[in-house]
């Protein structure tokens, strides 16, 4: 249960990161936000690694990283773009499709297969996510599904959900070949180096804009992201990937509803609350019946 607790705490921190990034899009480009969050969090991961020591590293770790990191870079950029295009309470819930995809991918990569209650819990999380946009269900379920695939922001999120179903497995495999500390430090450092080179070559003028904008937003987002990632991956070590991601998505979505209504005055919150209640039921299935 301790792993579940850490995952729940992390899932409650992630929504605040998305709020900070959405606020930052008013002052910064998507590239600056992604570069800054990765770069400013590197020292935190370095301290975490230094405190726990360098592990023995299996050579296959680097093969996993070579696949994992490019996918993380692409999806993080797509995520920030989607947050800029649409309300976070309407798009982020679609990330709940990740644990559904994980039922297949985690079985293929890790041999993990949820029991019946776990699968019911995962499906309830997804059903709740669909019902979050209840105002669109007035025209029928098929209209709601069609609407998901007709909006660029929603399409981005579906693509991210699918890719992250692979990344979650890669993360657990990479940690098994090294350690949580080294995996986090290595992946984020590579992301930061790649984005720094790319920004330096093509968007050097954006660095000056970063200093004149709302720099505390970026620093805060980096710190909270690092803390949440550390807690989540520690919990992931002793938890099925599909369960961990379902809880993470549920917390992220419920948090995005609350914060979206409070900070951005997003509408139709009554539908969001109904969907969130169903998602909480799904999370309860996972936590209490496994």
C-beta of residue 246 within 8 angstroms of C-beta of residue 283: yes
3-state secondary structure of 129: helix
Residues of the chain with pLDDT under 50: none
User: HSE of 66 in the Cβ direction (CA atoms, 13 Å)?
Assistant: 5
Q: Count Cβ atoms below 10 Å from residue 260 Cβ, excluding itself.
A: 24
Token pair for 193: 């180096």
- 121/127 Cα distance (integer angstroms): 10
Residue with tokens 């992301």: 191
Token pair for 268: 């139709």
- 254/176 Cα distance (integer angstroms): 31
Residues 6 or more apart whose CB falls under 8 angstroms from that of 69 comprise 187, 190, 191, 194
Q: According to the model, what pLDDT value does residue 266 have? A: 56
- 265/284 Cα distance (integer angstroms): 29
pLDDT tens-digit profile of 49-87?
999 888 999 999 999 999 999 998 888 888 777 767 666
Query: What's 54's DSSP letter?
Result: P
Token pair for 104: 């297949």
Q: According to the model, what pLDDT value does residue 184 have? A: 93
Q: According to the model, what pLDDT value does residue 281 have? A: 79
Q: Count Cβ atoms below 10 Å from residue 180 Cβ, excluding itself.
A: 22
pLDDT tens-digit profile of 220-244?
999 999 999 999 998 888 788 888 8
Token pair for 90: 């309407």
Q: According to the model, what pLDDT value does residue 64 have? A: 94
Q: Count Cβ atoms below 10 Å from residue 287 Cβ, excluding itself.
A: 17
Token pair for 30: 């998507």
pTM: predicted TM-score of the whole model, two decimal places = 0.78
C-beta of residue 81 within 8 angstroms of C-beta of residue 30: yes
Q: According to the model, what pLDDT value does residue 167 have? A: 92
């Amino acid at each position: 249960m301790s792993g579940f607790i850490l995952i729940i705490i992390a899932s409650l921190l992630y929504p605040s990161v998305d709020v900070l990034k959405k606020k930052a899009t008013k002052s910064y480009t998507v590239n600056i936000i992604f570069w800054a969050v990765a770069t400013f969090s590197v020292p935190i991961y370095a301290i975490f690694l230094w405190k726990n020591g360098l592990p023995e590293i299996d050579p296959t770790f680097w093969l996993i990283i070579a696949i994992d990191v490019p996918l993380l870079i692409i999806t993080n950029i797509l995520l920030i773009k989607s947050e800029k295009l649409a309300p976070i309470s309407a798009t982020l819930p679609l990330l709940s499709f990740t644990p559904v995809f994980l039922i297949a991918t985690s079985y293929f990569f890790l041999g993990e297969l949820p029991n019946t209650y776990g699968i019911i819990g995962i499906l309830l999380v997804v059903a709740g996510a669909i019902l979050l946009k209840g105002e669109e269900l007035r025209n029928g379920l098929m209209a709601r599904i069609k609407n998901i695939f007709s909006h660029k922001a929603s399409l981005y999120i579906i693509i991210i959900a699918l890719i992250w179903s692979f990344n979650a497995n890669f993360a657990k495999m990479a940690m098994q070949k090294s350690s949580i500390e080294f995996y986090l430090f290595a992946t984020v450092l590579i992301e930061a180096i790649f984005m720094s080179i790319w920004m330096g070559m093509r968007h050097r003028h954006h660095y000056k804009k970063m200093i004149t904008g709302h720099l505390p937003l970026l620093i805060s987002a980096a710190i909270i992201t690092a803390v949440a990632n550390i807690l989540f991956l520690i919990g992931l070590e002793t938890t099925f990937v599909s369960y961990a991601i379902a809880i993470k998505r549920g917390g992220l979505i419920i948090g995005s509803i609350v914060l979206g209504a409070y900070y951005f005055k997003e509408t139709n919150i009554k539908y969001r609350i109904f969907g969130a209640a169903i998602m909480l039921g799904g999370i309860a299935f996972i936590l209490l019946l496994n």
